[in-house]
Structure 1
Amino acid sequence: MDGQDDAKQSTADMIAFVQNLLQQMQLRFQTMSESIISKIDEIGNRIDELEHNINDLRAEIGQEGTPSPSDPMKTGEEPKSGGDS
């Protein structure tokens, strides 16, 4: 009967080991998930800030008035070249 007791103890040890391993994996998964969510929130905040800055720049450009026709870079037209070399 001593062999059966050893087998039961071995099985109990294996069960405890597997449960411990699963708990560690769950903790690591939870930590990684929280880290990923945190980074996604940070990226979202950065995107919001960029959108705000872009809107501010658009407002500044709109307040400057219309570009003069003599400046092709402000009108979005292609600059005229003096000649083809």
Structure 2
Amino acid sequence: MAETDPKTMQDLTLVVQTLLQQIIDDMSSPIDDLERNITDLMIQAGVEELEGENKIPATRKS
């Protein structure tokens, strides 16, 4: 790892930016999957999409 150790502040900044981007990329797919699963569960449960800024659940039709 000695060859890739940052030598300047600019090098360190680049390493940190690269690591942060990798973390974001790695988290993006699981979060998207979780959102899809939650949506699927809400549909199966008969819960409609939340309406308005107050996030009040829509009334269910019986």
The alignment's TM-score, normalised by the length of structure 1, stands at 0.40
Considering fraction of residues, name the structure with more helix.
1
Give % identity. Answer: 4
CA distance in 1, matches of 2:26, 2:19: 11
> What stretches of structure 1 of length at least 5 have no aligned partner?
1-25, 68-72, 78-85
Structure 2 residue runs of 5 or longer lacking an equivalent are 1-5, 48-55
Counterpart in 2 of 1:54? 35
2:7 partner amino acid: L
Q: Tell me the TM-score normalized by structure 2.
A: 0.51
Higher relative contact order (CA 8 A, sep 6+): 2
Q: Highest CA radius of gyration, 1 or 2?
A: 1
Q: Would you say how many aligned residue pairs link Structure 1 and Structure 2?
A: 45
Give the CA deviation at 1:57: 0.4
The question of 1:45 aligning with 2:45 is answered no
Give every structure 1 segment of 4 or more consecutive aligned residues whose post-TM-superposition deviation is greater than 6 Å: none
